[in-house]
Every structure is written in structure tokens, then in C-alpha cells.
Amino acid sequence: MQEPGANSESGAEDEQQLPSLARTVESLLFLSSDPLSPAELGEAAQAGEGAIAAALALLAEDYAPGRRGVQLRELAGGYTLASDPAGEEAARRLLSRPRTSNLSAAQAETLAIVAYLQPISRPEITRIRGVSADSATATLLERGLIEEAGSSQFGAVLYRSSTQFLKLFGLRSLQELPDIARWDPTPEEQAELRERLLRAGEARAGGGPQAA
């Protein structure tokens, strides 16, 4: 026979776990572009129907109209997070702005070279890529992903990644770049890597840079 205090202890534990489940449900609703049914939320959160209902009730209270710029809405048999109608005009202005296109392969390759070998000049980037880096570098500058960082001893402009680059890629510093965090090369290893990339770029170009 179960002791009298067992159920109350279990209930108290469930109450302590509810905020955590509510946060999980909130995350799921934030990530999904479509409304999620209680069953879908329960499957993803590995929680029962009653627990999901309680979590949704808690979120409904937290996202009550007039409290935040986001509301919890019940749509098409599911739930979703939507902007407050009071902010719809501002949202339309924001969403009507021209969208920036994704980086091309050449731009992404150039950005990676700058990020890992900075400061680096455009001629060096061209040698590494084996094709002209003029267009890609100009686009990255225009989009604020790289910036000028002085000049080399030969007078060529040097480039480095920008604060905007760190922000867009979710990095606090360059030390969080994937390979650097695991490898942490010495200055000698960095110099060797640079030379290997330069040789590879020259071989790829077949003796000279091509048009991008």
C-alpha cells in the first residue's frame, strides 16, 4: 500500500517540472512555422496529454494579450506563437524590406579564407582560390562581413572578418570557429597551412588566375 505522503510528493515534483516543460513547449512553438497540436507537442517533448495542457495553460497566461509583443494562439487545431496585432504595421514594414540573398559558393569560400587566415590581402585570396577574388571580396565588403585591416608590406589592402560576421554566425570570438577550437595551430603550423593553400590554389588555376 502506498504511503499517504507519496502522492503529494509526486504532485509537488510534477509542479516543479512544469516550468521546465512549459519552456520546452515554448521552444517547440518558436521553432515550428506551422501550428503544433497537443499530440505533436507531447510526442516531441515526451510528455503526457495532461502535462502538455498544463504547460499550454501556463504559456497562455504568460503570453496573455497586452503583456508581450508575442501571443499564444490556437489555430487549425494546434498552437502557434504569433506577433501582437498592435505590432502588425511595424512587422509589415520590416518584412517588406528587400531580402539579402544567400552567399554564393565563391563568396562563402572567400569568407572562410579571410576568417581563418586574416589579415589577408586580395592577391593572396586569389592565389589560394585559383580564381579572381575581386567580385566576392567586394560583395563581402558591401554586406559588412569583412572589413579593411591596414596594408601589407607591399601596399596591398588587408582584410579581416567583421563584428557583423561574428554576429551572423553566432560566434562570440574567432576562437569559436570550428576547426580553430579543436586544432589551435601554432604560428608555424599556420604558416605551413597558408603555403599549402597557396600551392593548391596555383595548381587549381593551372598557372594563373581565371575570371570568377
CA 65 to CA 86: how far, in whole Å?
10
Cell digits of residue 180: 580553430
Right CATH number for 105-205 from 1.10.40.60, 1.10.10.10, 3.30.70.2190, 1.10.3720.10? 1.10.10.10
Report how far residue 82's alpha carbon sits from residue 91's, in angstroms, rounded to the nearest whole number.
11
| pTM for this prediction | 0.45
In CATH, what number does 4-95 get?
A: 1.10.10.10
- Residue-wise burial string across 4-28, b where 16 or more C-beta atoms lie within 10 A, e elsewhere: eeeeeeeeeeeeeebeebbebbbeb
Answer yes or no: same fold for 4-95 and 105-205. yes
Tens digits of residue pLDDT in 165-207:
888 888 888 888 876 545 566 677 777 777 776 776 666 555 4
For the stretch 121-159, pLDDT in tens is 999 998 888 888 899 999 999 999 999 998 888 888 999
As beta bridge partners, residue 74 has: 79
Domain boundaries, the chain: 4-95, 105-205
- Amino acid code (one letter) for 94: L
**73: β partners:** 80
